[in-house]
Structure 1
Amino acid sequence: MAAFPSTRWSLIRATDREPAETAAAWSALVRDYRPAIVGFFRRSAGVCDAEDLAQEFLLRSMRDGWWSRADPDVGSFRRFLLVLLKRFLSMQNDAGHRRFEATGTDLETADHGPTPERQFDLDFALCLTRTALTRLRSDYESGGRADVFDVLQPWLAETPPHGEFAALGAVLGVAPNTLAVQLKRLRTRFRKSVHAALADLSLDAGQTAADLEALRSVLGAETGA
């Protein structure tokens, strides 16, 4: 008997699993990353009904088994998703099925903004971050410390101003120094949560590292870091 796939991505690609298992994993990915899919269609095609186009893409990709035919060389859900999005849009255009209102703007070559591919990576990174935060908050809530997470989460990427730890500590009944240590631990756990969420979408550690570097690059460019 084949080994059970180790990630949601390998589960979706598997051909020997129960349809219900595959559908559940696929539905979870759609829930988490649908904003990046809709954003790609909105930006690539300049359409007003990107939501409808995204829905058609998702239905056809599952119905026709596109995911199980993923190229092993692609390696990750993020990369294969982008390949499928491009192919689907090309098929729509070639078949004359563009049943949506175009803006008339060629967003692919516009000089004033990022390409659809780069914007997709940015949207994907934001979806990934949101997924990691949701999982991490659930962990804190399970440990009865959701209030600590909620207070510290706004400072994951910033240094709290002078006196902020004292104010926050007063709310939680925690010493400022203790709160500073807890923020440091939260940042470490958040990085691990992001890595785990991305590893769930890759076939191996090497691809996870490559995707993480790519997403860090696009986020860094966006923030000027």
Structure 2
Amino acid sequence: MVSLMADFESADKASLFVTTRWSVVLAARDGEGRYATVAMETLCKTYWRALYVYARRHGLPPPDAEDVTQAFFERLLEKDYLKSVQPERGPFRAFLQMAFKRFLAKEHEHATALRRGGNAKHLGLDFLEAEAVFTADSPQLAADEVFEAHWAMTTLQAAMTALRAEFRDAGKEQDFDILKTTLSASGDGSSYEKMGVELGLSDGATRIAVHRLRKRFRELFRAEVAQTVASHEDLNEEIRHLVAVLARG
């Protein structure tokens, strides 16, 4: 995937910031935004695994990491945590990471007791799957590195899932399975020729299909990142950061 990252900043910017999730949440910081809770919950459901693996790498055993992750979201969704967002705003990633760090340092024992008492807002999180992902991580990675790696991969996978869905809706999911390898490798002449045979396309038509796939993937990745920032300026900076994180892997 990393071979395509340099092109993300050139993807189309149109309509990315009409109503993004993080923009809605920030707009509700000092008011009663009608859709803020839904927007925040959607972001949390997407990126919660990065917090769980952070808690695990921080030294918490699986049951405690589960409890503190659930309890944190209860506090985030129901209390006044948005007041801690600074005027410069910044990406949702940075806010969530800092808020969770503070939560672990100061409040997780009390919050865990609340969670076990049955008062938490449950988000239906698959902790078994998250634990399997955590055990596959390199033990040399620090907690912050684990968090950022999972955040970046979650964003990447969301774009891939959206792209697959578009192909599936068009009745071309098998084409996607053939073409998707070009998202992580440049491909040589023989690979294009092989793909063309599988797709029933000429070499030229195959290259056009690959170009369109890559272009659409960049657009979807950019749109996914846009949901976690509040401006075009933040978007390019966040993309550069995630590219650097992915490159480390």
Counterpart position of 2:182: 155
TM-score scaled by structure 1? 0.79
2:107 alignment partner, SS class: helix
Assess if the C-alpha contact under 8 Å between 1:9 and 1:201 holds in 2.
Answer: yes
Q: AA paired with 2:202?
A: A
> Could you report, residue by residue, the CA deviation over 1:34-69 in whole angstroms, capped at 9, with x for unpaired residues?
211211111123422222221111112111132465
| Count of residues in correspondence between the two structures | 204
Task: Flag structure 2 segments of 5+ consecutive residues without an equivalent.
Answer: 1-16, 114-138
Counterparts of 2:73 and 2:112, CA distance in 1? 16
1:79 lines up with 2:94 in the alignment: yes
Cα RMSD between the aligned structures?
2.5
TM-score relative to the length of structure 2: 0.72
Change (3 A) 1:152 1:68: farther
Q: 1:53 to 1:220 in 2, by over 3 A?
A: same
Q: Which structure is richer in relative contact order (CA contacts within 8 A, separation 6 or more)?
A: 2
Q: In structure 1, how many angstroms separate the alpha carbons of the residues matched to 2:190 and 2:46?
A: 36
CA distance in 1, matches of 2:43, 2:183: 25
1:219 and 1:205 map into 2 onto residues whose CA distance is: 21
Change (3 A) 1:41 1:5: farther
1:134-158 Cα deviation digits (max 9, x unpaired): 2222233334433322221133111
Contact residue 68 and residue 111 of structure 2 kept, 8 A: no
Aligned match for 2:49, one of 25, 32, 35 = 35
Deviation at 1:83, TM superposition (A): 0.9
Question: For structure 1, which runs of at least 5 residues remain unmatched after alignment?
Answer: 100-111
Within a 5 Å distance, the mapping from 1:48-197 to structure 2 comes to 48-49=62-63, 50-67=65-82, 69-92=84-107, 113-160=140-187, 163-197=190-224
Cα 1:40–1:164, aligned 2, differ >3 Å: closer, same or farther? Answer: same
Amino acid at match of 1:80: F
- 2:69 alignment partner, SS class: helix
CA distance, structure 2, for counterparts of residue 53 and residue 38 of structure 1: 8
